[in-house]
Amino acid sequence: MSQEPEVTEDGFTVDGNGEVLADPVDVPDVADGAGEGSGIDFLLAARESAGFLSEALGRRLSTASFRQLVIDGDAPAAADTSGGTAKWSMTELRSWADAVLEAEARAAEAIDPVEEAEKSRSAFVRWVQGRLARLESVNEGDNSWCPVWWDHPEAVDRLHALWLAYMAAEAEGELSGWWVNHWDRHYAFLFGHEGVFKQCPGGRHIKAQERGWLAHEPVPEKWLPYPERAQKKES
């Protein structure tokens, strides 16, 4: 079965047997004046196209992701497929990247902050409930837990931080690191007898106003956390 031509690290396009199909293509800098409106255009292979778009969009786009966008019809089709190697017009890629950024900007302006906050809250609650339903390493008799976890500010802060870290780890394929570096570190404070639910014995919720809290005095109006920094600025 024939293999799709690939681009090597040094830019050569080779077939499945390692035979060179095309020499390296230099990727022009985004700011060098080439592209739309300049009268100059370049044809870029898939790897160079992905690199060009990564710079234009301000975020990494892998070659595989770029190819998938093309297959799905979400990115420009190749301008030249002669010689067994697909190549894309730099001008068309630049126009597409500009359109993507403009659409994202319009979408960001149209976001309702209240609606967005509700979506985030719902997603967070679903994640916590789903995560608790999957726990097998926690024995309620040997640990502390309160079913009304959402009325414990520290627990909410810790669980929310775990949720954010989980989403990032899942996107990057690093869930093993999330368990070790995030979940395991919060575990004792969430479920231990001296953890955040210790004032709710046996899972019996004690309302916030009835629980013990660290006392603190009102902060003076002109108080500064780093007065020496303010003095340096004045001098």
- Same domain? 222 vs 117: yes
What pTM was estimated for this model as a whole?
0.49
Parent domain of 49: 6-110
Under a CB-based contact definition with an 8 Å cutoff, are residues 152 and 197 in contact? yes
Q: What pLDDT, on the 0 to 100 scale, is given for residue 216?
A: 85
The answer to whether residue 47 is domain-embedded is: yes
Q: For position 235, what pLDDT does the model report? A: 54
Model confidence pLDDT, tens digit, residues 215-230: 888 898 888 887 766 5
Is the model more confident about 229 or about 206? Answer: 206
User: CA 61 to CA 48: how far, in whole Å?
Assistant: 11
Q: Report the range of poorest mean pLDDT among 31-40, 45-54, 217-226.
A: 31-40
Q: Examine the fold and report which residue of 57, 88, 110 is the final residue of a domain before the chain moves on.
A: 110
Position 234 confidence tier, pLDDT thresholds 50, 70, 90: low
AA identity, residue 196: V
Judged against a pLDDT cut of 90, whether residue 33 lies above it is answered with no
> Do the domain assignments include residue 123?
yes
Q: How many domains does the chain have?
A: 2
Helices 153-172 and 113-133 cross at an angle (nearest 10°) of 90
pLDDT of residue 2: 45
In a domain, 1, yes or no: no
Give the Å distances, CA to CA, from 174 to 122, 155, 160. 24, 24, 18
**pLDDT tens across 94-141, in order?**
999 999 999 988 887 776 777 778 888 999 999 999 988 888 777 666
Residue 234 lies in a domain: no
